A and B are shown apart, each in its own frame.
Chain A
Amino acid sequence: MASNKTQYNNLTPAKPLDKKTLNKMVWRSLNLQASFNYERMQAAGWLYGILPGLEKIHADDKEDLETSMQHNLEFFNTHPFLVTFVMGIVLSLEQQKADINTIRAVRVAAMGPLGGIGDAIFWFTLVPITAGITSNMAINGSLAGPILFLLIFNVVQFGVRFWLMNWSYKLGSKAIELLTANAKEFTRAASMLGVFIVGALTSNYGGTTIALEIPNGESPIVIQSILDGVLPKLIPLTITLGLFFLIKKKGWKPVACIGLLLVVGLLGALVGIF
């Protein structure tokens, strides 16, 4: 679990990352979802992706590298093709040794909205159009179909990945100069945005519902619709706040929480709650 540090030991900005390191991280960004899991989704793949940059930035302080690795292992989920945008911004903040709460909040705020944009560009536009055309070529027996599909898709994909990385790293480096004058205020505002987004994700990513029905002649009582009448997404909210309480006040480890949810999920499925 993340340490409670709020600042790096060495607050001197590191040397700006060179193009070679940035490009290396673009290649690594392909495997963002390598260790995808239900708890933190892309977190470990995200850390894997930015490690070359973090190692350079925190080269002179091992403890800072450890701190950075720990907070970059927290929940992360964004659109896989647009992740380099978040990478560029976060790395520029790391390089300037910004407040850890600021980096965390900016990361959370940047990752959320990209999902919808990426789906719209790639899954709803690029794939249907290119696959639609090239599939018909393949059905007509042309090997050019699959080759053309791969070519178009990957030219767009790599163009977007490389461009976003370089653009957002520059953007972050420029913005930071303006913000260091009011660092305390910026950290607070960023934290607000981060908390706001996590609140939104609780509802937006929260799909847990219960399938329990109480038999009542021809119109069984559906528990979920009663809950929805009280407050939609009540279950995701309750579970999140319950886990927050267990972790913050009772000192539970994430593993214990996961164990609890596994038991609840399996028992619930057995008796028909889910």
Chain B
Amino acid sequence: MEFNAIQIILVGVWAFIVAIDQFDLLESLYQPIVTGAVVGAILGDLPTGLVVGGTYQLMTIGNMPVGGAQPPNAVIGGIMATVFAISSGLDTTAAVGLAVPFALIGQYMVTLLFTVMSPIMSVADNMAEKGDTKGIVRLNYLAMGALGLLFAIVCIAGLIGGSALGNTLDKLSQDFAWIMNGLGAAGGMMRFVGFAILLRIMLSNDLWGIYFVGFALATIIGFIPELSGSALILIAFVGVAIALNDFQTRVAIKQNAGSANGGDEDGI
């Protein structure tokens, strides 16, 4: 089944919107159940879109972007699975399979953008230094637009190239796997730059012990799989107790300091 130019453009527009939506906007339009229906309607086969979207949605429950981890991209997966189900009359599982190479490319785009945006934070720093509020706003919108554009290109290429393009992409992504692997590893380390900048100001010399206590507690709790969700809450309880105790002690010392002169008669 061939798609006309208007349909291809509309799917591209939808890909642009939901690419942004996976991190921003309503953070729910991108879910396969919605995307399947919309893409199905655009391509003139709403019933298939609903079935593919619903089935793929059930497959992705339990595969949510939890804790910053990136699953194989469900946004492009949802769009392309619907496209292939309609164009080739495949059932959902087969259509989702054909969508995998495109979802993988989408994931690479996300990795690439998150990497490129890291050094751009220094541009943001310069804007902040000058009080350039409009610049900060513009920078955020540009980053959103870039993500949308990248995803729209992948989906439009998929609509035109079909599943044959998937094979090419598959080979391409295998050839460049080490680069993405390297970017992923570098990306995983970049947050330590963020931590180091926070510590540069906050970590006075007398607080080193506290830093290591936090690290030790998180490491211990990290080894208990059942606590993976609540780890940081539990850690915060301990941290608040330590800080509160320090606060109360210091306030008490300050208040007693004034009356210390009268203590001679105690004979101490």
Contacts and interface: CB of A to CB of B under 8 A. Distances in A.
Nearest to A134: B33
B50 interface: yes
Q: Does more than half of chain B's interface fall in helix, strand or loop, or is it mixed? A: helix
A84 interface: no
A123 B66 contact: yes
A176 interface: no
B251 interface: yes
A186 B247 contact: yes
A34 B141 contact: yes
Interface string A39-80: 111011101100100010000001001100110111101001
B250 to A, nearest CB: 4
A262 interface: yes
A145 B119 contact: no
A89 to B, nearest CB: 14
Contacts of A190: 243
A100 to B, nearest CB: 9
A1 interface: yes
Interface stretch (B18-26, B93-101, B152-160, B256-264): B18-26
Given A47-B136, A115-B67, A195-B207, A258 B193 contact: yes
A240 to B, nearest CB: 4
B190 A116 contact: no
A137 interface: yes
15 contacts: A35-B139, A35-B144, A37-B120, A38-B191, A112-B232, A115-B232, A116-B231, A145-B37, A203-B219, A208-B185, A247-B197, A258-B119, A258-B193, A264-B189, A269-B178
B233 A117 contact: yes
A253 interface: yes
B214 A196 contact: yes
A33 B197 CA distance: 20
Interface stretch (A16-24, A102-110, A216-224): A102-110
Interface in B226-241: 229-233, 235-236, 238-240
A149 B28 CA distance: 9
A101 B137 CA distance: 25
A202 B187 contact: no
Contact of B254 (A45, A182, A196, A274): A182
Interface stretch (A7-15, A90-98, A124-132, A165-173): A124-132
A198 B199 contact: yes
Contact of A137 (B54, B68, B117, B223): B54
A135 B55 contact: yes
Given A109-B239, A233-B222, A116 B250 contact: no
Classify chain B's interface size.
35 or more
B211 A199 contact: yes
A31 B25 contact: yes
B188 interface: yes
Contacts of B50: 138-139, 141-143, 145-146
B172 interface: no
Contact of B196 (A77, A127, A128, A247): A247
A153 interface: yes
A270 B184 CA distance: 13
Contacts of A232: 219, 222-223
Interface string B44-62: 0011001101110110011
B165 interface: no
Contacts of A132: 58, 61
A204 to B, nearest CB: 5
Contacts of B250: 182, 185, 188-189
Contacts of A82: none
Nearest to A269: B182
Contacts of A240: 192, 195-196, 199
Contact of A196 (B183, B197, B239): B239
B236 A266 contact: no
B166 interface: no
B201 A192 contact: no
A44 to B, nearest CB: 5
Given A138-B36, A192-B207, A268-B185, A69 B230 contact: no
Contacts of B219: 203, 232-233
Contacts of A36: 23, 114, 117, 143
Q: Which 9 A-B pairs have the closest CB atoms?
A: A199-B214, A265-B186, A75-B194, A269-B182, A138-B54, A37-B117, A69-B128, A38-B190, A200-B218
Contacts of A55: 133
A40 to B, nearest CB: 5
B140 A266 contact: no
Contacts of A74: 194, 197-198
B222 A197 contact: no
Contacts of B128: 47, 66, 69-70, 72-73
Given A37-B115, A38-B190, A182-B254, 7 more contacts: A66-B129, A131-B57, A138-B50, A195-B210, A197-B235, A201-B195, A265-B185
